[in-house]
Structure 1
Amino acid sequence: MNAYVFPGQGSQFRGMGHDLYQHSEAARQLFEEANDVLGYSLTSIMFEGSDDDLKQTIYTQPAVFLHGVVLALTTDSFAPEMVAGHSLGELSALTAAGVLSFADGLRLASVRATAMQRACELVPSTMAAVLGLADKVIEDVCAGITEEIVVPANYNCPGQVVISGSLAGIQLAEERLKAAGAKRVVPLAVSGAFHSPFMEPARTEFAEAVQNMPFNAPRCPVYQNVNAQPTTSPQQIKENLIAQLTSPVRWTQSVERMVADGATAFFECGPGKVLQGLSKKISPATPVASI
């Protein structure tokens, strides 16, 4: 079974999607429609903007969404039997699987990005990648820090978990995680603590937009971040999508479940090769490729 996976924030690069725009009339039409829906030229930022422009959450998330969805919708061989997306990529997966229209998916990506950017500006917070430590040890260390907020945010692959929290919480966690045997704790260049309680204001704002948007049944099961389970119910998809903003991304568990359910190949649909690298570490025997 073919599993298509869609990357999230952090996979962007300057010039992303430009080849598609130049060489595919169908892709060009979707890019132009996106500019119309958003009311500004996202393609100009993607193709010609600075690295700093592309690092801004309000632009990054719609750009990564757009790249992945345009790739999927303009590829003749795109025939998913299961889909999943990492964080923001879940919106791309839902759109590619027919749950959302192209325009509605893009609108939600924009609302999500703006809401998360605003939440980041309310209280200083950050994230860090923890390398070479078991999930349970990381969870216990985070749970043991009661004076600050720090939580597991992304279960990316065995030996790589990202934590989110307050500035002091991440600093405290770094000391304790290194003492517990972590190979490295790497601070991430992000604007805030995604997938943590710090995103509660964004979750509330995003929830209103999601609940007012029509969701269709997907053409194949969607493996969602919050529980790594296959979902086909539009209402359950909505609830899981909203909960995702303050819950950890269970990517390791999602890939493992897709393999258990019969995935024989993973195809990354979007900029970069981040998910291919993670898939190789989670399920080395399962082939991976880009669209």
Structure 2
Amino acid sequence: MKAYMFPGQGSQFIGMGKNLYKNSHVARKLFQLANDVLEFSITSIMFEGTMDTLKKTKYTQLAIYIYSVIKAKISHDFEPDMVAGHSLGEFSALSAIDVFPFEKGLMLVNKRASIMQEICESIKGNMAVVLGLEDKIIEEICKNDGGIIVPSNYNAPEQLVISGEHNALKRVCYSLKKIGAKKILILPVHGAFHSPIMEPAKKKFQEFIDKISFKDSKCPIYQNVTAQSVIKSEDIKKNLIEQLTSPVKWKQSIENMISNGAISFTDIGPGNILQSLVKKISRNFTRKI
């Protein structure tokens, strides 16, 4: 069975989508539709902007969504048996399999990004990837800190992202280094996503998402919140709202996809970081079973 994966924030780069625009009539139409719906030139930011501008949440999320969905739409062999998206990537995946149209997804992502950007500007937080420690050790250190700091992305074996308030993140990173973390990297994002800091976003986003009609998925989507396959539109909506404050269970999702028959995994979006994560997850999972 064929699985397709859609990346989240962190995979952006200046010039993303320019080749798609040049080489595909369908891509050009969709890029122009994006500019029209958003009422500003997101393509200018993507093709010729600065990285400082592009990495702002309100632009990053739109850029990755647009690039990923267009790439799926112009791919002649995009026939998934199952899909998964990493954080923001869930919206790309859902549009690609026609749960909602491209332009409706733009509205959802734009609203989500705007709400998250507001919170990022009012509460200073950040995220860091921790390499070389078991999940349970990191979970315990976060729990014992006492500040707002939680595991936020279970990416791969011994690769877990933590998210929270700036000072709490600094304290926990210091503690993790002392007990043997191989490497800790601060991520190029402007907020503490998938943490309690994002709680104010949930009500606002729910009010907006309830106005958008979803279809049931035509193939299973393994959503971040549960790592389980989902088909029904009402379940998909609920999970997208909960995702704002819940951890991304990427490792668990890939393990479940493998258990349910996935034998090939393809990245749809900028970069191939998810492909490298799948290799690590697959090797470890195969050893466990």
Give the TM bin, normalised by the shorter chain: over 0.9
Instruction: Map Cα deviations across residues 40-75 of structure 1 (whole Å, 9 max, x no partner).
Output: 111111111111111111111000000000011111
Query: Are 2:48 and 1:30 aligned?
Result: no
Q: CA RMSD in A?
A: 1.3
1:276 CA displacement: 1.0
Q: Tell me which amino acid in the other structure corresponds to 1:133.
A: L
- What is the alpha-carbon distance in structure 1 between the residues aligned to residue 231 and residue 273 of structure 2? 26
Secondary structure in structure 2 of the residue aligned to 1:155: strand
Secondary structure in structure 2 of the residue aligned to 1:245: coil
Instruction: Map Cα deviations across residues 104-129 of structure 1 (whole Å, 9 max, x no partner).
Output: 01111111111110011111111111
- What is the alpha-carbon distance in structure 2 between the residues aligned to residue 73 and residue 187 of structure 1? 33
Deviates more, 1:183-192 or 1:50-59: 183-192
Matched with 1:289 is none
Matches within 5 A, 1:38-77: 38-77=38-77
Q: Tell me which amino acid in the other structure corresponds to 1:220.
A: C
1:285 CA displacement: 9.6
Query: Are 2:17 and 1:10 aligned?
Result: no
1:189 CA displacement: 2.9
- What is the alpha-carbon distance in structure 1 between the residues aligned to residue 252 and residue 101 of structure 2? 28
Secondary structure in structure 2 of the residue aligned to 1:12: coil
Q: Tell me which amino acid in the other structure corresponds to 2:139.
A: E
Q: Number of aligned pairs? A: 285
Q: Tell me which amino acid in the other structure corresponds to 2:136.
A: K
Instruction: Map Cα deviations across residues 121-163 of structure 1 (whole Å, 9 max, x no partner).
Output: 11111111111000111111111112x1110011111111010
1:94 CA displacement: 0.7
Identity %: 53
Matched with 1:215 is 214
Query: Are 2:159 and 1:169 aligned?
Result: no
Q: Does structure 2 conserve the Cα–Cα contact (< 8 Å) formed by 1:128 and 1:164?
A: yes
Secondary structure in structure 2 of the residue aligned to 1:278: helix
TM-score normalized by the length of structure 2: 0.96
1:10 CA displacement: 0.7
- What is the alpha-carbon distance in structure 2 between the residues aligned to residue 53 and residue 168 of structure 1? 25
Query: Are 2:141 and 1:141 aligned?
Result: yes
Secondary structure in structure 1 of the residue aligned to 2:141: helix
Structure 1 runs not aligned, ≥5 long:
287-291
Matches within 5 A, 1:96-107: 96-107=96-107
Q: Does structure 2 conserve the Cα–Cα contact (< 8 Å) formed by 1:118 and 1:202?
A: no
Matched with 2:188 is 189
- What is the alpha-carbon distance in structure 2 between the residues aligned to residue 107 and residue 208 of structure 1? 13
